[in-house]
Structure formats: C-alpha cells, structure tokens
Chain A
C-alpha cells in the first residue's frame, strides 16, 4: 500500500487509480438507442475522495458500473489500478473486482441469508483467507464501522444505515484500492448520511482508499474533495465542490 499522508486529501499522489478515455455507453432497447455516456474523459488519482453529481439519467450509475468492471463500455478505454479492462477476460475481471475494487450500492444489496459478519467476510472467503484470520479481520472492521454487537444479525434485522455500514465494511474487507459507491446515502436520513460520510472519510484517511461516489445531495457533495458534474452523459464540471456548487447555485 502507498504510504503518504498529507498530499492525499488535497488531490492524490500522482499515480492514476482510474482513467476513462472517450468512454461512450449506449443501451439498445429494441429500436430505441439510449446514449447514457457520450465521451467521458476522466482521471482520478490514487487516494482521491471524489463525488459525482448530476440530474437523474445523466449517467452516474452507468459510469460507476463501467469503472467498477460490472459492465463494458460501448467505446473508449477504461483503466483501473493500471489494468486496461478491455484486455481482461471475465475471470480476470472477477478477480480484479474481488481484490482491488469495492462496490457500495444505493440499496445495500447485502446477501439476505448471511449475517452482517458473514456478508463482510464473503470476499475474504472468496480470496481463500483462513477462517480464523477472516473472523478476526471482520470483527475489527465491523467495530470500525460502528457495528460491534450486531455481527450476528441478518440484514433484515438491521436499519438502512446499519445495512449500509455493513455494505461499506464489505467493500473494504478485501483491502481494495478503489471504492465505488452509487448514491450510498440516498436511502437514509440526513443524520445517518452524515455519519456514513464520516465513516467513508475516515476509511479514506486511514487506509488511503480512493473513493468515487455519486449523490444528489449538496451536503454530501460539499464533503468531497473534488466534485464532478455530469450532464447528459458528459462531464461538464470538475473542480473543488465549493467553486462548482456556488457557481451553479
């Protein structure tokens, strides 16, 4: 893991974590072709904490899916942590997602038959980490996200905010370099959103993980270190949140 402390929050270490070049994505729905991304060029350095805003349908989720190797672009190239995704097989993509990328969904998407601890453990199990080490790491991680005592609860026994904490713990368990979060605070109240942001920021600082998350909430945007504005599948703004938000409002 990269060891630097001060410059990270300011905007990265110089190493590129995510690079999108001329990325387009079209969805074909019978006769209708929806152009969700229309040539996105984007570079995010290792250790950045980036928010992405934009109206509904502007392509935020699409961009995150493509960046997270959950989907392939129609055209253009995507590079994650130095890997050109176009050159990787499905197997290699799965391995990359498992080892290097964490994903947090708006609707949590925990596995309902697994407890909080087991959900967080799942990727470690895929990685073949021994059971004892797994349990130890997950206990620490759940303590860090503030879920001590709730390890053995099933997702349905947890509140939305608690579920999203489990999801964040899950996304971090494998020690990824990049965490992508699609509207992680959309389904929770403001206070919970704040505490989730606190958590993400703390993880970012402590672990040097690169974060890219989408949001509709200006309060959340303000807490990022860099804000991207997406409109109609294009990046129309990129800069400090204060500049962008005050300029637009």
Chain B
C-alpha cells in the first residue's frame, strides 16, 4: 500500500525531513567525491599524456632502453600516413644528444627534432611555455629550452646559443640558434635537458636524413587506451608500441595507489553515511513499534509489515536520492568547469618527471550516479526492514505495550 507509506512519510514531517536530509546529503557528497576522485585520476593521466608523452608511443625495437641515435624507426612515413588516415593525432620526433653553450656557460642537452604543426595538433607542448613563443612553422634556427637548461646557460628569450653535436655521419655539427621560448616546468628530465628544434634544423645539425625515433599518438581520451594500443599495433607492425603506463610506470603505479586509496576512502564514507541513515531509519521504525503491534493484532503477517516499511523506505530513498543526486551533479559539474586551485596549499607538483596541473577538476558522468544512488536505496531499505522485521517478530501484545 504505497498510499499508506506515502502518508506515513508525511506524518512526522520533521523526522522525514531529517532522514531525507541525511540521505540526500550523503548522496550528494558521494556523487561529488566520486566525481572529484575520478577527476583526479583522469586529470593526472591527462596531465601525464597531453603535454608531450601521448597515450601511445611507437619506437624502433630496443630504442626505449638504448636511446641510440642510429636505432630509429625503419619506416616512419607509412605509419604517420596511416595514423593520419585513421584520424589519430600523432607527432613524429627525433632525438640526439649534444652540448649547448653560451658565453662561458655550457651544458649537455637532449635535442628534439619536432614538427611544430603536428605537436600543436596532438599536444599541449607548444602552449606549455614559461616565456616567449614556440617554434615557427618553418625552420629558422630557433630553439626552445627547458627552464633549468636555460638557467644554467643564463639564456633568455632572444639569447643566442651554440649547439655542438656528433652528427650521424661522424662529423661534428655546429650551429647557432636563437632562443625563442623557455618551457614551463614539465618535469625534471625535460627541464634540465630539452632543446627543441624544428625537424629541418635538427636534420641539418645532426645530418640525420629524416630519422624519426618516436611517434607519439594522443587522442586526448577520445579512444579507449586498450583499443588505441591495438589500433596502433596494427598500423605499426614491426615497431615497439608502448602505452604511457608502460612508459611512465611510476605515474601509472601512483594512479593505481590513488585509485585504491580513494576507493577505500569512498567505502569508508559510504559506510559512515550508511550508519547515519541506518540510525535515523531505526529511530523512525522503533518509534512506531506500537502501531506495528496493532497491525499485527489485526492479523497482518510479519512479512507484510516488513514489505510495507520497505516500500516506505524506498519512497523516501527515491525522493531523497533524487534531490541529493541533483545537488551532487550540480556541484560536480561546477567543479568540472572551474575546478579547485590546489596551488595555494600544494605549490607546483611534479612526479616521476611529469608536472601536474594545480587545478583539480571533477570528472562527472551520469554513470557515476548509479553506485551512490543504488547504495543509498539499499542502505535505506535494509536499515528500515531490519528493525521492522524485528518488531514484526514480537508478539502483538509486546509491540502494542500496555494498553
């Protein structure tokens, strides 16, 4: 009898309001924390991949361990063409070690030969500058330096830097570059060593003949990681294809730990919310012991009493979780849009060579509502049915009390 359950809810408005507030609040907080957790994990992963690492990288077999200039991809052009064909954004890169010098300062550097247009299409790298600008579309002897490398050279935008390298043909490459940009903090390795050149300049400096050591693919989450890896493997048959989780195992592990600890946290929270709701429901049911006694005396079977209370609890839960889920969704969407600026208390953070965005954004999906809402329903019904069943098991006189 849904009508009876509904009227029972309205009977003690204050208590119902209290229970509903508890349930609604718990639901809202659960939705919000889930979205924040999801956002943190997703944001960290995005952070790790979107700047320059990518979701999947393609190398010649063995390059990841030896980083040899000569061990470049056998046939990079067809792979790049196929990736473009498949609509998967990708950027080709070549790497070579050498020295940079300015006045009486010098430092070792890892030169990157990049295609500025491709980088801009797939990555945030061209926008990740502390000062200056990124390389222009055409080669013009420009260089973008890692921030610590720039500091060791005492170089700034406009400075001239000499590059001295051992070229691919065994000669010594030697060229003068103008610093056009300084990268923002991207992690220790890039900060200390990156000297980014236009691929044409790189080829001239290293006599590299168009070598490509790395193709970094990044769909910004548009393609699921497993499927992306499978597709790239199919396109680049003889190459070594790795996901960012393999390339950045520390970040990947940290995300695993984060995921697990957030999962534990939300379980504990769910438990606490469940206990709060249980408590209110217990009170609400025990308060009506006498009435259940009367129903029993009239011949209501115990199961029927429990079922009626379950219906009542479910009604309450549906309304309260509806409101709570609405509020939680609104909050989550707001935090997804604007985020929480953690810079104030966390400063700038970097882990395993990857810098993190100090803005912590939530990530909300409708699917994220299912767990909190269903859990609250379950908690409400169990919390109501348990005491109702124990009351229903009493003898009618015991429940009615002294009349």
Tell me the residues in window 292-311 of chain B with beta carbons closer than 8 Å to chain A beta carbons.
294-302, 304
Say if the beta carbon of B171 comes within 8 Å of chain A: no
* Given A96-B299, A99-B299, A111-B295, 17 further pairs, Cβ under 8 A: A61-B402, A61-B403, A65-B396, A70-B395, A71-B396, A98-B298, A98-B300, A101-B299, A103-B297, A103-B298, A105-B400, A112-B11, A113-B7, A114-B7, A122-B298, A125-B1, A126-B304
Shortest beta-carbon distance, A30 to chain B, in Å? 16
Say if the beta carbon of B349 comes within 8 Å of chain A: no
Docked pose: A215 CA to B307 CA in angstroms? 37
Q: Which residues of B contact A98 (CB under 8 A)?
A: 298-300
Scan A130-147; emit 1 where CB is below 8 A from any B CB, else 0. 000000000000000000
Q: Which residue of chain B lies nearest to A65 when distances are taken between CB atoms in the complex? A: B397
Shortest 7 CB-CB distances between A and B: which pairs?
Answer: A98-B299, A97-B299, A113-B7, A70-B396, A71-B397, A109-B294, A70-B397
Docked pose: A68 CA to B296 CA in angstroms? 12
A70 and B299: CB pair below 8 A?
Answer: no
Say which residue of A68, A99, A112 sits within 8 Å of B297 (CB atoms).
A68
Chain B residues packing against A (C-beta within 8 Å): 1, 4, 7-8, 11, 291, 294-302, 304, 395-398, 400, 402-403
A90 and B295: CB pair below 8 A?
Answer: no
Say if the beta carbon of A8 comes within 8 Å of chain B: no
Q: If A71-B396, A111-B291 touch, does A97 touch B403 (CB 8 Å cutoff)?
A: no
Q: How many residues of A contact B (CB 8 A)?
A: 31
Q: Which residues of B contact A96 (CB under 8 A)?
A: 299
B294 and A111: CB pair below 8 A?
Answer: yes
The B interface, classified by DSSP as helix, strand, loop or mixed, is helix
A123 and B396: CB pair below 8 A?
Answer: no
A70 and B297: CB pair below 8 A?
Answer: yes
Docked pose: A111 CA to B290 CA in angstroms? 10
B297 and A107: CB pair below 8 A?
Answer: no
Q: If A70-B297, A97-B298 touch, does A114 touch B403 (CB 8 Å cutoff)?
A: no
Docked pose: A218 CA to B305 CA in angstroms? 39
Docked pose: A13 CA to B369 CA in angstroms? 67
Q: Which residues of B contact A106 (CB under 8 A)?
A: 403
Q: Which residue of chain B lies nearest to A99 when distances are taken between CB atoms in the complex? A: B299
B299 and A71: CB pair below 8 A?
Answer: no
Q: Which residues of B contact A65 (CB under 8 A)?
A: 396-397
Say which residue of A72, A94, A105, A109 sits within 8 Å of B299 (CB atoms).
A94
A126 and B297: CB pair below 8 A?
Answer: no
A109 and B301: CB pair below 8 A?
Answer: no
Tell me the residues in window 157-196 of chain A with beta carbons closer than 8 Å to chain B beta carbons.
170, 174, 182
Say if the beta carbon of A202 comes within 8 Å of chain B: no
Shortest beta-carbon distance, B253 to chain A, in Å? 57
Shortest beta-carbon distance, B193 to chain A, in Å? 76
A109 and B302: CB pair below 8 A?
Answer: no
Say which residue of B4, B8, B301, B402 sits within 8 Å of A94 (CB atoms).
B301
Q: Which residues of A contact B298 (CB under 8 A)?
A: 97-98, 103, 122-123, 126, 170
Say if the beta carbon of A95 comes within 8 Å of chain B: yes
Q: Which residues of A contact B11 (CB under 8 A)?
A: 112-113
Tell me the residues in window 60-103 of chain A with beta carbons closer than 8 Å to chain B beta carbons.
61, 65, 68, 70-72, 90-91, 94-99, 101, 103
Shortest beta-carbon distance, B391 to chain A, in Å? 14
A109 and B400: CB pair below 8 A?
Answer: yes
A126 and B302: CB pair below 8 A?
Answer: no
B4 and A114: CB pair below 8 A?
Answer: yes
B299 and A126: CB pair below 8 A?
Answer: yes
Q: If A70-B396, A111-B295 touch, does A126 touch B403 (CB 8 Å cutoff)?
A: no
Max chain B Cβ within 10 angstroms of own Cβ: one of A65, A94, A125: A94
